[in-house]
Structure formats: structure tokens, C-alpha cells
Amino acid sequence: MNFIDQKFPSLRFRRTRKNEKIRNLVSETSVSANDFIWPVFICDGNNIEQDVPSMPGVKRRSIDLLVSAASEAFDLGIPAICLFPYTEQSLKTEDCAEAWNPDNLSNKATRAIKNEIPELVVMSDVALDPYNINGHDGFVENGKIVNDKTIEALVKQALSQAEAGVDVIGPSDMMDGRIGAIRSALEKNGHSEVSIMSYAAKYSSSFYGPFRDAVGASGTLTGDKKTYQMDIANSNEALRLVARDLKEGADMVMIKPGMPYLDICRRVKDTFGAPTFAYQVSGEYSMLSAAFEKGWLDRNKIIIESLMAFKRSGCDGILTYFAPEAAKLLK
């Protein structure tokens, strides 16, 4: 990079910081409601709203209340939501068949939202953990998470979601080869316009704990997910995974978690130039929320600053639980 050979006092950086209007003129990064995907949790029943204790302000909603909340989010300018079901324990099985049930919570919510707010983009989660008695993203056989048999189930799950009207399929399972298999199945079954946002670089992180509470997976998980999610120490591997998933048919890629992995966001965007997203995950949300409750951080300023960091690192969009609140602040 070439810099102008200019010295103080002819060079004064404070000139462009003189007032808000000048600062806005030279601002390099912006964030808006258009950049947000709002992750939401669904529970069974009617007129039900349940607090998630480890995620202050976040709620599970029955489908009727979720549709209302989604409509409000859309009116705030948020273009997309991502659905995560709270599956009753009785529906969690070894074969995970509820994952591709046309009338499971996720699919029913998709149809209800599309019926009321057809322009709102609906993103789904493709993984077996909400439906697996073992709490894993894939089938467990003899203590091991099996890859290829899991892919067959993930394809059925993705197709059921596409049939329900999902716009963006989000495979979060981290099985090898699942993007190619899902893309092929979507094409063969008349869903060529359904997009795939691959959780391409999903790390085996400790920041996911509150999310597992929200979907009811904390008590069922046996062991850990280190044989399929990424080693937190690795960076080059993330680029290899993104390259593979783009080659197999992913339209967009995601890095997860977000704030502790902004270096990965930048590397991915600079290397591939593909639509790049990050997930400001439950642990990040809860960590900030705890500081807000203590009065240690300024809530409004920190919410925007944290989201700005994603955009500055090269992300095109952010999955964030702060989406509705941030959209109101930005208005």
C-alpha cells in the first residue's frame, strides 16, 4: 500500500474527525438492518413465550407468537430469520426421524411465516442434534459419530425444509461431503432456487453453551463434538473447508463463532470474495448481556460496535440475537 509522503502539520488526521458530519463522510464501514439474520427459537403450543435463563431477553416462542415477532422484525428492516426448534424429549430418538417430519416445529413455523410474511427470508438449520437422543449433529454408532449415514439423513431433512418453503438451507453439522449431497438433492427435486449457507468453518467452541440450553440439547449431549467441528487452534484448515464447500455448491459461507474468530472472517473474505457471514453466538450474546446488566458496558453503544466489527472484518451479514434491538437503534 502506498501512502502519501506527507508530514505534520500539513498532515492532521484530526481534521476529518472534526464533527459528526465529516466523520460520516469518511467512514469506511457501515452497518444496517439489511445486514442482520435474526436467530429465533420455536416451542410447541399456542400463545407460549418462555425465557431462556442463560440468554437474558431471548425467548422461545410458539409459532403464533413467532409469526408476530417475525412480522415486527420485518417491519424494522430485518430481511431474514433463522429457525431453531426446541424439541420435546419424547421426540428425540436414535434414528432422528423427527428431523424430516413434514410437520415438525421448524417446518410448521416456516409455512406459517411464509403464509403471513412471504417476503421475509427464512433460513433453516440442518443438523440432527435437536432430534438426536445423544445430542450430536450426526448418528452415533458404537460411540462414534458416523459421517456418510448421517449425510443421508441430512439430505432428507434439507428436502423437507425446502418443501416447507425455506429460502436458505443452513447445514451446521460439519459432516464431510454434505454440501454436495444436499445441493444435488435440491436440484433433482425441483428446488434449484433454494440457497445453501454452509457453516463451513464451525469451531468446536465453548461459546455454544447457552444455545444448547435454548434448544434443550444440554442434557442429552454425550461426549463432545471435536471429531467433526473444527479445532479452535486452526486457521488454514478453515480456508480449505470453505474452498471445498464453495466447490460443492454452497452459495454463502459462515464462520462460527463470530467475535473470537474475526481473523477467520477476514481471511475467508479476502481469499474467496464469496458472500461471507458470521454468527454472533449465544455465548457472545450472554457475555455482553451480563456486562450490560452489571452496568459495566454501555448497552446501546456496545451492540452497534460489536456488529460493526463483523462488517469491518469483511462479513456481508451477521446472525445476531441483537437484531431487532440493533435495528431500532440504527433507525
Domain membership flag for residue 25: no
d(CA 221, CA 283): 18
* Catalytic residue selected from 92, 225, 256, 269: 256
Radius of gyration of the chain (CA): 21
Range of the domain at 99: 31-330
Domain membership flag for residue 38: yes
Integer angstrom CA distances of residue 29 from 228, 304, 310, 311, 324: 35, 12, 10, 7, 20
d(CA 79, CA 75): 9
Residue with more model confidence, 166 or 216: 166
Helix (H) or strand (E) holding 149: helix 148-164
Domain membership flag for residue 233: yes
CATH of the domain at 47: 3.20.20.70
Domain membership flag for residue 317: yes
- Arithmetic mean of pLDDT, 221-242: 94
Strands (E), the chain: 36-42, 49-51, 59-61, 80-85, 121-126, 140-141, 144-145, 168-171, 195-202, 252-256, 276-280, 317-320
C-alpha cell at 165: 418453503
- Arithmetic mean of pLDDT, 138-158: 96
How confident is the model over 47-61, as pLDDT tens digits? 999 999 999 999 999
Angle, CA of 201, 203 and 207, to the nearest 5°: 130
Angle, CA of 235, 237 and 242, to the nearest 5°: 105
**Could you count the other beta carbons within 10 Å of the beta carbon of residue 103?**
10
pLDDT of res. 213: 83
Domain membership flag for residue 24: no
pLDDT of res. 221: 78
How many domains does the chain divide into? 1
Residue 175 binned pLDDT confidence (cut-offs 50, 70, 90): very high
d(CA 207, CA 212): 10
d(CA 182, CA 62): 29
The answer for 229, left when phi > 0, alpha when psi is -120 to 50, beta otherwise, is beta
Residue 222 binned pLDDT confidence (cut-offs 50, 70, 90): confident
DSSP state of 2: -
Active site residue 202: yes
- Dihedral of CA atoms 259, 261, 263, 266 in degrees, nearest 10, equals -80
Domain membership flag for residue 18: no
The yes-or-no verdict on residue 74 having pLDDT over 90 is yes
The yes-or-no verdict on residue 2 having pLDDT over 70 is no
CB 123 within 8 A of CB 84: no
Number of separate helices (H) and strands (E) present in the chain: 11, 12
Domain membership flag for residue 177: yes
d(CA 172, CA 168): 12
d(CA 127, CA 171): 6
d(CA 121, CA 127): 20
Domain membership flag for residue 1: no
d(CA 255, CA 174): 12
pLDDT of res. 215: 82
d(CA 148, CA 242): 20
How confident is the model over 273-307, as pLDDT tens digits? 999 999 999 999 999 999 999 999 999 999 999 99
b vs e for 181-198, b when ≥16 Cβ sit within 10 Å of the residue's Cβ? bbbebbeeeebeebbbbb
* Catalytic residue selected from 92, 202, 225, 311: 202
d(CA 255, CA 241): 11
Active site residue 328: no
